[in-house]
A = this chain, B = another copy of it.
Amino acid sequence: MARVNILIGGPTDQIPVDWETVTGIWIGVDRGSLRLVKAGISPALSLGDFDSIDEEDFQLVQEHSQKVLRVNEHKDDTDTELALKLVQEEFLDAEEVVVYGATGGRMDHLLSNIFAVLQPRFKDLIEKITLIDRQNLITFYHAGNHVIRKQMGYKYLGFVLLTGVTDLNLIDEKYTLDNYSCTYPRAFGSNEFIGNEAHFNFASGIVAAIQSRDLPKV
């Protein structure tokens, strides 16, 4: 299948309003499974320890999921790691893995979700993964030449060095970089597309690109 969507049980106020209408199959994790079912979506896989929902809701998840995997609550993996592992095991032909509900709220969860892609076991998935919330669209890259297409509705383009990185070139963005190297993580925010595509490359490390937008000030 082309696209696998994962709904984690994070704060719902960070999930894009149109999430129910996206294409592809769904994996729900814990409370995320319940949200899928309540939205009329039948998860291809519901997984988690389900300790955050009561037995009645769990029955609902069981009735409406194509497959349920209930794991021990003392698991070694986070919800996101578990979901990515299952994608590797059961959805090998996924071309895109789009994660909803992984941001907002507790910062330990958020950073754990972003840093998950750095684990060697997920190396083959990195460039397939997108984290999406209302303001941000995050993609990940191994060393090499890359092009990012501007997504509608996002103004900014941030480049985040998640590890030490060598020879980073931002070629046709508003602010360019020329063979920039850094031995520690660093985030360059508030860059922008000049055209509809942004080209960049780097020689080693892992980089995230974040398309983002402001919301109205409250």
Contacts and interface: CB of A to CB of B under 8 A. Distances in A.
A4 interface: no
A54 to B, nearest CB: 13
Contact of A163 (B111, B114, B185, B215): B185
Contacts of A185: 115, 118, 162-163, 185
Copies in the complex: 2
A207 B218 CA distance: 33
Interface residues of A, number: 41
Interface string A196-218: 00000000001000101111011
Contacts of A217: 11-12, 31
Interface in A103-157: 103, 105-109, 111-112, 114-115, 118-119, 133, 135-136, 138, 156
A111 B218 CA distance: 21
Interface of A: 11-13, 31, 78, 103, 105-109, 111-112, 114-115, 118-119, 133, 135-136, 138, 156, 158, 160, 162-163, 184-190, 206, 210, 212-215, 217-218
Given A11-B218, A103-B107, A107-B210, 13 more contacts: A105-B135, A106-B136, A106-B213, A107-B133, A107-B212, A108-B156, A108-B187, A108-B188, A108-B189, A109-B190, A111-B160, A112-B187, A115-B185
